[in-house]
A and B are shown apart, each in its own frame.
Chain A
């Protein structure tokens, strides 16, 4: 059993507590889902369970914590490691050794376990997480999902009763994320684990959740209880829950299957959503990709790609991993040399142009905004871009842009200390200060919470209404449903479908938001579309 009694914790030098007056009990064998916006104290709460808070972080802790009868504040994280397994957010930065098998053994070596038992346990752990075929592989060559499976195995190999996971899927694509969560549910059942999971991706995990814990930074304490009860009190939730809130369905459905009970076929009145977005509605494409072929080494990555981006539209590009999405984006801004075909931006061919000249016309937001940020303050970041492009500082309006992006209060902050969402805003500011006619975003929703995602959607829609073209690559089906004017699907280097989201979703299983699954053939994509 895990119990917190009036626990309040502040980080060193912080002016307010990260968590305050937390009273919480998690019984054995539960799957507890911890949710809340970024900065609400989810990570802090989880780290209290194995003593990383306060042993690792420093700071002031008040109140009492008991984990399976132990006090993690008295014990060290070292001792707690035998009772609590911990999986972290970033698969890139939790490994000590570069080989799968050795990495899993690391915790056992620290526990001074006899060699024979070590080998048995490593075998069992690898078997549990289906890692045995990968045992000799270098961690560097694994996919994000495989890496997280190794992290999970490394945590489970000490046979803890409690498993804590801090947003383990936030850096993964949708497919691997679902797979990981599925595996987690299965493991929990087989090994009678108590699982505490912080997660933004509620769709998949909600049906299996026993207990939901909600944190809010403006309210002390936590809300804890059955998911159905908590979901009616808070604004977070997957589309079916939002729909249920709107129409007052009780008890709340947690997944598409449960929601189907509330829909009597008679009330469905399929209306084809009026499509505004066939290509003929636009005159002149801003970005034009024709017959593009790209080989890397002997491998053909892109094969005869034709794609246009028009001013004032949001085009969403979706496809499985390795389909060539990133290569296509990178070739548009000149980062990837092309073998044949042509790309033009604002009616000018990009061949022979330097990346920085192309990017003055097309803003490109890379997956990791951290790679962009290095200045001492947010406003300095903008000045650096202006300086890089030799633009006249008087023509630019950095303050206006920061205000538009809602980060003008942060103009003097150190960019690296901001939240994921704010960092993304700063990166967006740094690439759009040149007033490009289009922007390209590569997986912008990674690591964002619901609120930040909503803000991003609003922002993109405003830009789009002002006439900017937006090309968005994402695995996030609901994000695509909420934003797309057109959707293009890419597979094995070819565009397999392009056009109206409703039509594309009807023709392909790759793009099927919850609402479409719930009302097949209705032409609805988001809860707002639904009219009953």
Chain B
């Protein structure tokens, strides 16, 4: 296939998985009005929370398949080690202390995604969740949406680059970070601290409240549903998310610049090109003979 068509199909796959993912999360809002239209009024095949989770997992699987196509051994090793560090932060004594939904993992996901690109960020985010779940015995239906959300955090981080580039003399090769860059990262971390909670709530809502089964049969408008979701969100996890957002922002503020400088230093070791000037085959044969003759001693 031509590179151009690879690019196109790649974009198409990204978009389709994105739409599918968003749709399966926002589905209760869209479908509430619809369920009454269906002949039975019963929530059917595509409507159970588990079915949504299955769809979400599938689009996640396809997205991972697409993203992993670009990795080489260096990226594989680097991802593995960074994920190990991220997952270990949980086990290190009290971890980095903090209340509620605070979690130190977003720090590395955001910074690595920002510097090493969206694909890297996506894999780092999604697989950090997978590995954490594996080692803590936390594999469950919540895992796909956690992986999706954390993957999106890393995938979206490079969006900051053009913004930072325009406002300051940003350069990837220079080992320097500007104030604007740090500020942008902090705001970004704060924003995702919340959004991650919103996404996880969108996932858990159908399980917890079963809005379609419960409200749909009663007939309820989308606006009313949104206000119900909002109250669910505010009651269940607003403060939780607030601590995550502040925590992530604080970590970025405290460690952002030094970690960026470490990651930047390493960047050139990940990317390289080699050129070579080889001898022709016949020259080589002749050369070998002289070496054999000249060497001090060839042990037998």
Determine whether the beta carbon of B276 is less than 8 Å from that of A5.
Answer: no
A27 CB within 8 Å of chain B: yes
CA distance A57 to B288 in the complex (A): 26
Tell which of A13, A56, A224 touches B295, judged by Cβ atoms closer than 8 Å. Answer: A224
Number of interface residues of A (CB under 8 A): 34
B256-296 Cβ-contact flags toward A at 8 Å (1 or 0)? 00000100010010001111111100011001100110111
Known A-B contacts A30-B299, A66-B284, A376-B261; the reply to A23 vs B276 at CB < 8 A is no
Determine whether the beta carbon of B297 is less than 8 Å from that of A225.
Answer: yes
Tell which of A3, A4, A12, A62 touches B276, judged by Cβ atoms closer than 8 Å. Answer: A62
CA distance A13 to B272 in the complex (A): 10
- Min CB distance B275 to A, Å, is 6
List A contacts of B288 (CB < 8 A). 3, 5, 25, 66
CA distance A23 to B273 in the complex (A): 25
Known A-B contacts A30-B299, A63-B279; the reply to A25 vs B274 at CB < 8 A is no
Determine whether the beta carbon of B295 is less than 8 Å from that of A62.
Answer: no
Determine whether the beta carbon of B275 is less than 8 Å from that of A3.
Answer: no
Determine whether the beta carbon of B292 is less than 8 Å from that of A64.
Answer: no
CA distance A313 to B298 in the complex (A): 49
Tell which of B261, B276, B287, B299 touches A73, judged by Cβ atoms closer than 8 Å. Answer: B276
List A contacts of B274 (CB < 8 A). 12, 54-55, 57-61
- Min CB distance B143 to A, Å, is 22
A28-70 with Cβ < 8 A to chain B = 30, 54-64, 66
CA distance A61 to B292 in the complex (A): 22
A412 CB within 8 Å of chain B: no
List B contacts of A178 (CB < 8 A). none
A522 CB within 8 Å of chain B: no
CA distance A210 to B296 in the complex (A): 13
CB closest residue in chain A, given B276: A61
Determine whether the beta carbon of B287 is less than 8 Å from that of A5.
Answer: yes
Determine whether the beta carbon of A226 is less than 8 Å from that of B272.
Answer: no
Determine whether the beta carbon of A229 is less than 8 Å from that of B284.
Answer: no
A342 CB within 8 Å of chain B: no
- Min CB distance A212 to B, Å, is 10
Tell which of B73, B272, B284, B300 touches A57, judged by Cβ atoms closer than 8 Å. Answer: B272
Determine whether the beta carbon of B279 is less than 8 Å from that of A5.
Answer: yes
A218-244 Cβ-contact flags toward B at 8 Å (1 or 0)? 000001111001000000000000000
CB closest residue in chain B, given A32: B299
Tell which of A56, A57, A58, A62 touches B277, judged by Cβ atoms closer than 8 Å. Answer: A62
User: Which among A6, A12, A414 has the greatest number of chain B C-beta atoms within 10 A?
Assistant: A12
CA distance A29 to B300 in the complex (A): 9
Determine whether the beta carbon of B272 is less than 8 Å from that of A59.
Answer: yes
List B contacts of A3 (CB < 8 A). 288, 291
- Min CB distance A313 to B, Å, is 39
List B contacts of A63 (CB < 8 A). 277-279
CA distance A67 to B296 in the complex (A): 21
User: Which among B272, B292, B300 has the greatest number of chain A C-beta atoms within 10 A?
Assistant: B272
CA distance A58 to B269 in the complex (A): 9
Tell which of A57, A58, A226 touches B296, judged by Cβ atoms closer than 8 Å. Answer: A226
- Min CB distance A192 to B, Å, is 15
- Min CB distance B74 to A, Å, is 8
- Min CB distance A495 to B, Å, is 34
CA distance A431 to B292 in the complex (A): 52
Tell which of B73, B74, B276 touches A60, judged by Cβ atoms closer than 8 Å. Answer: B276
CB closest residue in chain B, given A376: B261
A211 CB within 8 Å of chain B: yes
A71 CB within 8 Å of chain B: yes
List B contacts of A57 (CB < 8 A). 272, 274
Determine whether the beta carbon of A25 is less than 8 Å from that of B297.
Answer: no
A24 CB within 8 Å of chain B: yes
For this complex, 5 residue pairs linking A to B, each with C-beta atoms less than 8 Å apart, are A3-B291, A60-B276, A62-B276, A224-B296, A414-B265
Closest 4 CB pairs between A and B?
A: A58-B272, A225-B296, A54-B274, A64-B279
